[in-house]
Amino acid sequence: VKRASVLLDSWLAEFQPLSAAALGLYRIFFAGWLLFSCVPSVSWISKFPRGFFDPPHFSLARFLHGFPAPWVLYFLDNAFVFLLLALLVGYRTRLVSWALPITHLCLNHLRYSFGKIDHDVLLVLLPMVMSFSAWGSCYSVDSRRIPHAARTASAPPRESAISEHWPAAFMALLLSLGFVTAGLPKALTWVDFDLTTSGTEAWVERGFYITGRSELLLPYMIHLKSPIIWELMDYSAVAFELSFILLLWHPRWWKRVVAIACLFHAGNAFMLNISFGLMVGIYALFADWNAVARWVAERPQIQARLNALGSVKTLVMASIIVLPFYWFLRSGAEARDYITPLQLLGWHEGRANLLVASSEFVLLSFVLLKPTGSKRPLSAEASTS
Amino acid sequence: MTGISGAQQFDGRGTRTFVQLLFVLTPAAVVFQLVLMLYLQIEPYPALVMPAGAGVVRHGEPLTIERYELLARAKDTELRQLDQHELLADLPAQYRAKVLRHLFMLAGKPLNRKLAGVPEFLGARSSRQLGFILFEIVVRRSRFVQVSSEGAVEKQREDRRILGTSEAP
């Protein structure tokens, strides 16, 4: 047991040792990306009668007897956007990192009460897990609360900072476990050495004939008649999904799997018309944010702007502008269970949405595959503003 | 691996134990959730378990497709199909099929209180769409079999269940 715990500590130390500045940059990226890509919305639910209410097993919504009052739905919608803005500027980051997932879960429990669920729990949990890291201690309102001298004095050197970097490693574990649960049942049925059956073809046929998807390469995939290609696709999907857990012990290889995952999702968008774009925010955690932090540290103007972002004034101004803007997006004629500024351009659905998601994934895969420089994060002194 | 002793790297023993417990208990919880899902054949939320979609098809074998539709009629008239995209325009598209399936299941049970409000809700909207006062609203499940690779289908069977009936004036 002692040896296992020492091995675990060593692995945690090596996995994704991000400096406070790097974590602060990732926090800004995550909140900004979520705000831009997929803000869940439930205001539209208030129109429907109780008979439509069909929450999944173990859902908190099962404690309700129907959909809540409209004011509750409007409150949750606006609270989520405000909490995202608070996370963006790093206002009471630890508290917000818990309040945001709780609000997100409430929103999801309600919008998934129509019998269909999406698998976005990792996205929901991420801020909660990251609250144990130092992601609120740079480029944030919180960093202004502590005097500069106290900050530098109390900032831990790298060797004593695992209690700050285990959250990223834990997210990697959660992600790997999620993929195992998808890959293991597939391994039992898809890896059958039988050229007359195919699991990938089942996805293609279901998508085309039942769900009505017909964008990009999917209509061509329907006519693919090569059993060997179908079989190879089956095996590669299983190998890919199980490689997350198999390579988790090797941080460098594991990050390459994440890069391949980005290309896998881009391929899925083209071939199956499934975008799964919400994974971008999670995979981005495993990019080399220390390199970004070094790049920012060498550019005082950018650093000053990022520091200026972390102010109560920014939060107030952003709330005055963004909350009404998202209310306007929600009030569009078309019913949507998540909103994004992309809907103003019509890029939120169909082919455009698939292309946007796959572009994000391809871009991220390049970032993840880019050779990293020094593995050492910025020292605490250099990372503070 | 760095080989640095873990005890030196954590702020305190409590944090270290908490993290170690988290790394041991989480995989156990996911395995439990997966077994529960496979055994009970349910899809819970929230769950770390991702969709497997582990089913396979035999090449060239026809696909069975299930569709749910809403129909309505005035007294002494034939049932007419409703345009559900227009009828449920304010429900996001990905939920429509699930909702109709749910209503079909509920309608199969006698005096189902869970259907409360649904006939009135759909009735008012259907009346506006069809231009007459509704007598009966029905949900229909049809099973089709794909007969060609171009997507042509053939109806195999259909079941109808009454969602609500009212007295026409």
Q: Is the pLDDT reported for residue B2 higher than 50? A: no
Q: With cut-offs at 50, 70 and 90, classify the pLDDT of residue A112.
A: very high
- Residue A71 at interface with chain B, using a CB cutoff of 8 Å: no
Chain segment A306-336, per-residue pLDDT in tens: 999 999 999 999 999 999 999 999 987 677 8
- Residue B50 at interface with chain A, using a CB cutoff of 8 Å: yes
Q: Are B91 and A335 in contact (CB under 8 A)?
A: yes
Q: With cut-offs at 50, 70 and 90, classify the pLDDT of residue A82.
A: very high
Structure tokens at B146: 């794909």
pTM of the predicted protein model: 0.90
Q: Is the pLDDT reported for residue A381 higher than 50? A: no
CB within 8 Å: B58 and A189:
no
| Alpha carbon distance, N-terminus to C-terminus of chain A | 42
Q: Is the pLDDT reported for residue B95 higher than 60? A: yes
Percent of chain A with pLDDT over 70: 91
3-state SS of chain A?
Answer: CHHHHHHHHHHHHHHCCCCHHHHHHHHHHHHHHHHHHCEECCHHHHHCCHHHCECCCCCHHHHCCCCCCHHHHHHHHHHHHHHHHHHHHCCCHHHHHHHHHHHHHHHHHHHCCECCCCCCHHHHHHHHHHCCCCCCCCCCHHHHHCCHHHHHHHCCCHHHCHHHHHHHHHHHHHHHHHHHHHHHHHHHHHCCCCCCEEHHHHHHHHHHHHCCCCCCCHHHHCCCCCHHHHHHHHHHHHHHHHHHHHCCCCHHHHHHHHHHHHHHHHHHHHHCCCCCCCHHHHHHHHCCHHHHHHHHHCCHHHHHHHHHHCCHHHHHHHHHHHHHHHHHHHCCCCCCCEECHHHHCCCCCHHHHHHHHHHHHHHHHHHHHCCCCCCCCCCHHHHCC
Using CB atoms, pick whichever of B44, B57, B98 lies closest to residue A198. Answer: B57
Q: With cut-offs at 50, 70 and 90, classify the pLDDT of residue B100.
A: very high
Instruction: Find residues 202-231 of chain A whose CB sits inside 8 Å of chain B.
Output: 202-203, 205-206, 208-210, 222-223, 225, 227, 230
Q: Is the pLDDT reported for residue A236 higher than 90? A: yes
Q: Are A162 and B26 in contact (CB under 8 A)?
A: no
Q: Is the pLDDT reported for residue B169 higher than 50? A: no
By the 10 Å C-beta count (0-12 exposed, 13-18 middle, 19+ buried), B60 is classed as exposed
